[in-house]
């Protein structure tokens, strides 16, 4: 068997790890992983044909040459190698957990820190038990800081990810109703996200604390805290960063305060929705702690333009589409509806898709959203998916069981001077509605 120490010496010579034989980079290490419908060991020979220098395997039947490095378990070896590499890194590592806004916060934070340090950030959604180790192994000696997103959907997963990446500091964006099926309810969500702070408490780490989220604020304990929030009356004596939402429209504007120096600055973001205020504050607080000036924080945040269906603003054919369709849960959908309700335009079209992974809470949570819509004023409301379909009433609301059906309806109408807000879970792929 090949030891982790031996693997690391090889990794230092060939520091690119590929886990997909279809995307082999020459002189990389091919890492065999197993899934429900595939065995990566079977592609080792193919990886060599495409230029891999070594292949890590966990089945001796595929050890075709001395470049095949046999380990007991491929996934565990990948995780152990990532942790070994993490210990060799002499840079601050900040982890991000939470129910909503992790990716936006990560991207904002990376821009802020990059104004002073060469900063690595989790690429895409490489944030789970496979993606996180692969992310860690991408951090070369040229980087001076790292931001890692933790993606969890069941208890103790954040704790496990922390053991892999060993963060020095961390942010919990918020605690809301995400992955209720896996976490077993909101109390389970709280406990799971706080696993990040539990790790920081045990390792003398620093927590960047959303003081306005009661479930986070009450669990600071003996951790080193750096507070941020909107309500100065609550945390005025210890607050390092605060903000006031001056105007949400057409896009979010935030007045950012440094409560140590008394300085303040206005940020005009490209983000839709007041709920992004806390994502901005989290990024600004990390920047402030690491010595980034308010002016550089402002420039960094204002340079961020959302993409990938996350609060993305799309102008097309005389209409505006607020595409927030990357994912959805009851907390994020409620916040989006609230902000769209206040959006000061004449013709508003609300398009919502089913929320997934809610388990036994699904019926109630979808019902809550429908009741919320009933109290709001939209010109057109479209509900898409089987879960919303259980609640459909002939009251003017338009219902489609599939996104494809909703797309046909959209294409059949001549839209002009309308603003659309689209929100749904990733599996609904609501962005397809407006695609050509």
Expressed in percent and rounded to 5, the helix, strand and coil fractions of the chain are 40, 20, 40
Above 70 in pLDDT, residue 234? Answer: no
Note the pLDDT of residue 244.
80
Residues 277, 135 share a domain: yes
Above 70 in pLDDT, residue 238? Answer: no
Note the pLDDT of residue 273.
87
304 three-state secondary structure? coil
How confident is the model over 12-25, as a mean pLDDT? 95
Residues 202, 350 share a domain: no
Residues 203, 135 share a domain: yes
How many separate helices (H) and strands (E) can be counted in the chain? 17, 21
For residue range 171-213, list pLDDT tens digits in order: 999 998 878 777 888 888 899 999 999 999 999 999 999 999 9
Q: Which of 256, 282, 302 is the last residue of a domain?
A: 302
Residues 277, 162 share a domain: yes
Residue 84 lies in a domain: no
- Asked if 264 contacts 255 with a C-beta cutoff of 8 angstroms, the reply is yes
> Whole-angstrom Cα distance, residue 202 to residue 111?
29
CATH number of the structural domain spanning residue 139: 3.40.1190.10
Residues 97, 48 share a domain: no
Above 80 in pLDDT, residue 231? Answer: no
Q: Which of 259, 280, 302 is the last residue of a domain?
A: 302
Residues 167, 272 share a domain: yes
Above 60 in pLDDT, residue 21? Answer: yes
Buried b (16+ CB within 10 A) or exposed e, 161-177: bbebbbbbbbbbbbbbb
- Asked if 150 contacts 96 with a C-beta cutoff of 8 angstroms, the reply is yes
HSE-up of residue 85 (Cα within 13 Å, Cβ side): 26
Buried b (16+ CB within 10 A) or exposed e, 286-320: bbbbbebebebbbebbeebebeebbbbbeeeeebb
CA dihedral of residues 53, 58, 62, 68 (deg, nearest 10): 20
424 three-state secondary structure? coil
Using N-to-C axis directions, what is the helix angle for 102-114 and 294-302, rounded to 10°?
130
Residues 26, 124 share a domain: no
> Whole-angstrom Cα distance, residue 253 to residue 84?
42
- Asked if 32 contacts 43 with a C-beta cutoff of 8 angstroms, the reply is yes
For residue range 343-389, list pLDDT tens digits in order: 888 899 999 999 999 999 999 999 999 999 988 889 999 999 999 99
Among the listed ranges 16-30, 119-133, 219-233, 263-277, which one has the minimum average pLDDT value? 219-233
Residue 9 lies in a domain: yes
pLDDT level of residue 261 (50, 70, 90 thresholds): confident
pLDDT level of residue 247 (50, 70, 90 thresholds): low
Note the pLDDT of residue 277.
93
Domain carrying residue 422: 312-434
Residue 80 lies in a domain: no
Containing 350, the helix (H) or strand (E) segment is: strand 348-353
CATH number of the structural domain spanning residue 353: 3.90.190.20
Residues 268, 239 share a domain: yes
Residue 232 lies in a domain: yes
Residues 115, 25 share a domain: no
Which strand ranges, in their side-by-side order, compose the sheet holding 419-423? 312-316, 319-324, 419-423, 348-353, 380-384, 398-400
Q: Which of 47, 74, 101 is the last residue of a domain?
A: 74
For residue range 88-110, list pLDDT tens digits in order: 999 999 999 999 999 999 999 99
Q: Which of 224, 255, 250, 251 is nearest to 238 (CA)?
A: 224
Residues 219, 101 share a domain: yes
Strand pairing class (264-268; 68-70): unpaired
Note the pLDDT of residue 375.
86
Above 60 in pLDDT, residue 325? Answer: yes
Can you read off the two tokens belonging to residue 14? Answer: 């060939």
Note the pLDDT of residue 176.
84
Note the pLDDT of residue 410.
97
Above 80 in pLDDT, residue 291? Answer: yes
> Whole-angstrom Cα distance, residue 342 to residue 194?
33
Residues 197, 174 share a domain: yes
Number of separate domains in the chain: 3
Note the pLDDT of residue 287.
96
Average pLDDT, the chain: 92
> Whole-angstrom Cα distance, residue 436 to residue 417?
19
For residue range 37-72, list pLDDT tens digits in order: 889 999 999 999 999 999 999 999 999 999 999 999
Percent of the chain with pLDDT over 90: 76
Check whether the bond before 250 is cis (ω within 30° of 0).
Answer: yes
Residue 255 lies in a domain: yes
HSE-up of residue 273 (Cα within 13 Å, Cβ side): 25
> Whole-angstrom Cα distance, residue 93 to residue 171?
11
145 three-state secondary structure? strand
Residue 102: count of CB within 10 angstroms of its CB: 25
CATH number of the structural domain spanning residue 25: 3.40.1390.10
Residue 73: count of CB within 10 angstroms of its CB: 11
Note the pLDDT of residue 30.
98
> Whole-angstrom Cα distance, residue 215 to residue 261?
29
How confident is the model over 9-30, as a mean pLDDT? 96
Above 90 in pLDDT, residue 400? Answer: yes
Q: pTM, whole model, 2 decimals? A: 0.92
Above 80 in pLDDT, residue 246? Answer: no
35 three-state secondary structure? strand
Residue 307 lies in a domain: no
Note the pLDDT of residue 276.
92
Residue 82 lies in a domain: no
Note the pLDDT of residue 242.
81
Note the pLDDT of residue 248.
57
Note the pLDDT of residue 82.
98
Residues 288, 166 share a domain: yes
Residue 258 lies in a domain: yes
């Amino acid at each position: 068997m090949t030891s982790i120490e031996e693997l690391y010496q090889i990794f230092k010579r060939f520091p690119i790890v590929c886990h997909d034989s279809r995307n082999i980079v020459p002189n990389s290490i091919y890492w065999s992983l197993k899934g429900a419908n595939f065995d990566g060991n079977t592609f080792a020979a193919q990886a060599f044909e495409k230029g891999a220098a070594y292949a890590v395997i966990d089945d001796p039947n595929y050890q075709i040459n001395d470049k095949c490095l046999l380990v007991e378990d491929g996934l565990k070896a990948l995780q152990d190698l990532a942790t070994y590499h993490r210990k060799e890194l002499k840079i601050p590592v900040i982890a991000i957990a939470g129910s909503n806004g992790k990716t936006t916060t990560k991207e904002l934070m990376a821009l802020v820190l990059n104004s002073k340090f060469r900063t690595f950030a989790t690429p895409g959604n490489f944030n789970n038990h496979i993606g996180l180790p692969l992310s860690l192994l991408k951090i070369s000696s040229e980087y001076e800081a790292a931001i890692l997103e933790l993606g969890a959907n069941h208890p103790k997963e954040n704790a496990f990810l922390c053991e892999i990446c060993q963060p020095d500091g961390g942010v919990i964006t918020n605690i809301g109703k995400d992955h209720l099926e896996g976490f077993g309810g909101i109390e389970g969500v709280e406990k799971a996200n706080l696993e990040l702070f539990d790790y920081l408490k045990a390792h003398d780490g620093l927590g960047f604390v959303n003081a306005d989220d009661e479930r986070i604020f009450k669990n600071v304990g003996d951790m080193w805290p750096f507070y941020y929030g909107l309500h100065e009356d609550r945390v005025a004596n210890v607050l390092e960063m605060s903000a006031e939402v001056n105007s949400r429209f057409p896009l979010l504007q935030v007045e950012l305060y440094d409560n140590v120096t008394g300085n303040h600055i206005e940020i005009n973001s490209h983000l839709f929705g007041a709920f992004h205020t806390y994502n901005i504050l989290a990024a600004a607080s990390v920047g402030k702690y690491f010595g980034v000036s308010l002016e550089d924080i402002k420039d960094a945040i204002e340079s961020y333009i959302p993409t990938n269906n996350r609060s993305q603003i799309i102008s097309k054919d005389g209409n505006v589409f607020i595409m927030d369709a990357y994912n959805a849960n009851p907390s994020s959908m409620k916040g989006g509806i609230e902000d769209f309700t206040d959006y000061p335009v004449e013709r508003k079209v609300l398009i919502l898709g089913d929320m997934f992974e809610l388990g036994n809470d699904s019926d109630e949570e979808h019902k809550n959203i429908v009741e919320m819509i009933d109290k709001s004023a939209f010109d057109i409301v479209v509900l898409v998916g089987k879960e919303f379909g259980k609640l459909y009433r002939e009251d003017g609301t338009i219902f489609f069981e599939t996104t494809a059906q909703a797309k046909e309806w959209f294409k059949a109408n001549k839209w002009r001077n309308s603003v659309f807000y689209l929100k749904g879970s990733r599996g609904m792929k609501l962005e397809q509605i407006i695609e050509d």
